Amino acid sequence: MTGYRIQRRITPLIVGLMVALFAVASMGTLSDVSDDEAGVVPDMLTPVYYLAGSAAPFRIAVDQFIAHARQIRFSHPFDDGTGMLPDLLTHTTGVFGSVKGPNQGSQHHPAVDLYVTDRISDVALYAAHDGLVQTYRDAAKYRHYLSITKEIVDEGGSLLGLIVTLYAHLDLDRDEASGLNLDGDVVQQGDLLSRHLYAGTVGGPHLHLEIRYYRPTDLGVETFYGSRFGPSGNTNLTLASEGIWSYGSWHPDVGYGFADPRNHGLNLP
Ligand SMILES: [Zn+2]
């Protein structure tokens, strides 16, 4: 198998350094995780977070959750466990937080897009982390997608929130036809998730990889997007996040936000 080696040798050093920097930076203030902290890149959090004062209970809860969530290190979804990425992985576009959507400047892509070469759609994808799998077929925005949900707990075992990782633009019908259906299963990091990207995606087959941060009480998936509710007609919607990132309208009571994969140790080409 040809390919290029993931920076396995230096990645632990970098990750170790980042963890050390993070540990020093957060010493005594674990509940205060600001986006501009050393070694950490901005996530895209709900407007409620940015609008709240630093002493607001919601903000403290988010900071505590994120401090724990960022300890979950992901593996690359194209890595079959050998440490090699396939040659067909070409490039990343739609980088986390890039501007996207009809309202240029008001919406940002809260995910990364990993493209493959020559419109190949037979691509094996692997779990970036462990958790419970759910599959979905009814999402116009993603077509088929698969999610992995992992609970984030504090030292005392209390549930702080959920990491939900979305693998979107899949062809789950073809997976199922070949006997692969993980809906409801618990997977481990590196387990096979899918063998098929959707062939008809605009711009060519690619994996839309998205990391969502949910509150412990959040159950919905699609409703995480404010855009689901429409840009008007719901006075509970904010027009846009007031923080570093914005994502159009967003229901203020739903979720914590979206994570930059780099905050989970995922170095993308
Ligand atoms: Zn995307």
CATH number of the domain residue 204 falls in: 2.70.70.10
Residue 50 lies in a domain: yes
Contact residues for 91 (Cβ-Cβ < 8 A; gap 6+): 115, 269
pTM of the model: 0.79
Tokens 């600001």 correspond to 34
Q: What is the pLDDT of residues 206-254, one digit of tens each?
A: 999 999 998 887 765 454 554 433 444 444 555 555 565 666 656 666 6
Distance 198 CA to ligand 1 centre (A): 13
Tokens 């902290």 correspond to 37
Mean pLDDT of 68-76: 96
What's the pLDDT band for 140 if we cut at 50, 70, 90? low
Distance 200 CA to ligand 1 centre (A): 14
- Percent of the chain scoring above 70 in pLDDT: 66
Distance 31 CA to ligand 1 centre (A): 31
Task: Please count the structural domains in the chain.
Answer: 1
Report every protein residue that has its C-beta within 5 angstroms of ion ligand 1: 94, 111, 113, 208
Residue 186 lies in a domain: yes
The first and second tokens of residue 229, run together, are 């509710």
Residue 269 lies in a domain: no
Range of the domain at 15: 4-264
E strands in the chain: 4-5, 44-45, 84-85, 89-93, 112-116, 122-126, 131-139, 143-153, 159-170, 186-187, 192-196, 206-214, 257-258
Residue 43 lies in a domain: yes
Residue 135 lies in a domain: yes
Is residue 4's pLDDT more than 80? no
